[in-house]
Amino acid sequence: MRNLILLLASVVLLTSCETKKPKRFKLLNPSDTGIDFNNLITENDSINVFKYMNIYTGAGVAVGDVNNDGLTDVYFSGNMVSGRLYLNKGDQE
């Protein structure tokens, strides 16, 4: 009985992994988006991953309508570089 349960559980797990979910994001070229932020980390003897464990995970991204125009804006924070705000201008031709 135990082997049968294990076999059924294995079959369910293996078959459920094969379903493809639709992609939610699309990779866009920086020249198309206008976003060219790079959180460049430069390690040395005093600033490194051994001394600052979260040096590579300490920054982040925030999205929201900063200027209240109904469009989602993007803010990138940096560890060793200044943060940068990208205002969404909508579809401009």
- Asked whether the beta carbons of 66 and 87 are under 8 A apart, the reply is yes
Domain that holds residue 57: 36-93
**Residue in the structure block whose two tokens are 């590579």:** 56
Answer yes or no: is 92 within a domain: yes
What are the angstrom distances between the C-alpha of 90 and each of 29, 30, 33, 66?
16, 15, 10, 14
DSSP codes, 61-78: EEEE-TTSSSS-EEEE--
Task: Tell me how many domains the chain contains.
Answer: 1
Greatest Cα pair distance in the chain = 67
pLDDT digits (tens, 9 = 90+) for 42-89: 888 988 888 888 888 878 899 999 999 999 999 999 988 999 999 998
DSSP state of 21: P
Q: Whole-prediction pTM value?
A: 0.65
Give the pLDDT confidence score for residue 72 in this predicted structure.
94
Answer yes or no: is 6 within a domain: no
Answer yes or no: is 10 within a domain: no
- Asked whether the beta carbons of 82 and 62 are under 8 A apart, the reply is no
pLDDT digits (tens, 9 = 90+) for 2-48: 676 766 776 666 666 556 778 888 999 999 889 999 988 888 898 88
